[in-house]
Amino acid sequence: MRNTKFIIFTILFAILMISGYTVFKIQKRHLELSILVTERRILEGAEQCFYEDKCSGSIFSLEMLVNLGYVKDEVNPVTKLYYNKKSYVEKKENTYTFIEVS
Kindly calculate the radius of gyration of the chain based on its CA atoms and give it in whole angstroms: 22
Q: Which amino acid is present at 76?
A: N
What confidence score (pLDDT) does residue 3 get?
A: 86
Q: What is the pTM of this model?
A: 0.79
Q: Structurally, how many domains does the chain consist of?
A: 1
C-alpha 72/C-alpha 46 separation (Å) is 12
Query: Which tops the pLDDT comparison, 59 or 1?
Result: 59
Q: How many CB atoms lie within 10 A of CB 60?
A: 27
What confidence score (pLDDT) does residue 2 get?
A: 78
What confidence score (pLDDT) does residue 1 get?
A: 66
What backbone torsions phi and psi does residue 54 show, to the nearest 5 degrees?
Answer: -95, -20
What backbone torsions phi and psi does residue 101 show, to the nearest 5 degrees?
Answer: -100, 130
What confidence score (pLDDT) does residue 56 get?
A: 84
44-95 pLDDT, tens digit each: 999 999 999 888 888 999 999 999 999 998 898 888 899 999 999 999 988 9
C-alpha 80/C-alpha 30 separation (Å) is 14
C-alpha 22/C-alpha 50 separation (Å) is 42
C-alpha 57/C-alpha 22 separation (Å) is 45
* Contact of 59 with 88, CB cutoff 8 Å: yes
The whole domain housing 79 covers: 2-99
